[in-house]
Amino acid sequence: MPRKDQNVGTLIGKDAHLRGDFEFSGGLHLEGRISGDVRADPSSDSTLSVSAGGCIEGAVEVVNVILYGTVTGPIHARGRVVLGSSARVHGDVYYGVIEMTLGAEIMGRLVRVNSGATVVDKAAKTELTLGGAF
Helix (H) or strand (E) holding 40: strand 38-40
Q: Which residues fall within 8 angstroms of residue 134, CB to CB, at 6 or more apart?
A: none
The DSSP bridge partners found for residue 98 are 81
More confident residue, 10 or 118: 10
User: pTM for the full model?
Assistant: 0.81
Whether residue 83 contacts residue 100, with contact meaning beta carbons closer than 8 Å, is answered with yes
pLDDT of residue 93: 98
Q: Does 98 have pLDDT greater than 60?
A: yes
Dihedral sign of CA atoms 96, 111, 22, 68 in order:
negative
Geometric angle at alpha carbon 127, from 73 and 79, rounded to 5°: 55
Could you report the per-residue pLDDT of 27-55, keeping only the tens digit for each? 999 999 999 999 998 888 899 999 999 99
